Amino acid sequence: LHGVTMVDPLTALQEIAVGLTLDELVIAVDSLVADRFGTAWRIPMTEVRERAAKARGRGASRLRDAVALARERVWSPQETQMHLLLMRCGRPVTAMNHEVVDPTTGIAYYADLAYPDRRIAIEYDGGDHLTSPDRVKHDHHKSAVLTAEGWTVIRVHAEDLHEPTDFFLRLDAAWGAEAA
């Protein structure tokens, strides 16, 4: 491009894989396969898996490790971090950005991480979720719709990624309440 040799994003990730943590690499792969809010050059997960399986050389093994943990429909780095936290703590796999439609308005909302069969939604709230009036309003409506449809909404923040005890207590309570 304009005299500069360019490589595709997956090749670039392999080349820098050894300089990233596994979580950073998974975040990057999730972004490549995201169907929304991801890279401008989306690569389907099937292609990513095929290419990672064939990759050779420096970073190939690490890229394969990240691809094995990557998920489609992950729309933020924090969602990746929550997914990895749940997985590493032996929790069941969540649905990512699970669609719930408000039956009154027809507006679709997306639960960041969800256990649809148990109607448990995990919502990651970054800084803009607390400071942007539009974001706060949207989150309020989303929570109201989810709750009205029988969902338990668990809101998490950055602190929960670093000290997840309270989050897991809330998740266990929701899991137990659903079973009762």
Residues 6 or more apart in contact with residue 39 via CB below 8 angstroms: 9, 31, 32
In the prediction, which pLDDT does 139 show? 87
Q: What is the pTM of this model?
A: 0.88
Position 131 pLDDT exceeds 80? no
Which contacts (CB < 8 Å, 24+ apart) does range 94-99 have?
94/122, 96/71, 96/72, 97/36, 97/73
Question: Could you read off the pLDDT of 2-11 as tens digits, one per residue?
Answer: 787 778 889 9
Give the mean pLDDT of 164-172. 96
Question: Could you read off the pLDDT of 59-108 as tens digits, one per residue?
Answer: 999 999 999 999 999 999 999 999 999 999 999 999 999 999 999 999 99
Question: Could you read off the pLDDT of 29-39 as tens digits, one per residue?
Answer: 999 999 887 66
Q: Which percentage of the chain shows pLDDT scores above 70?
A: 93
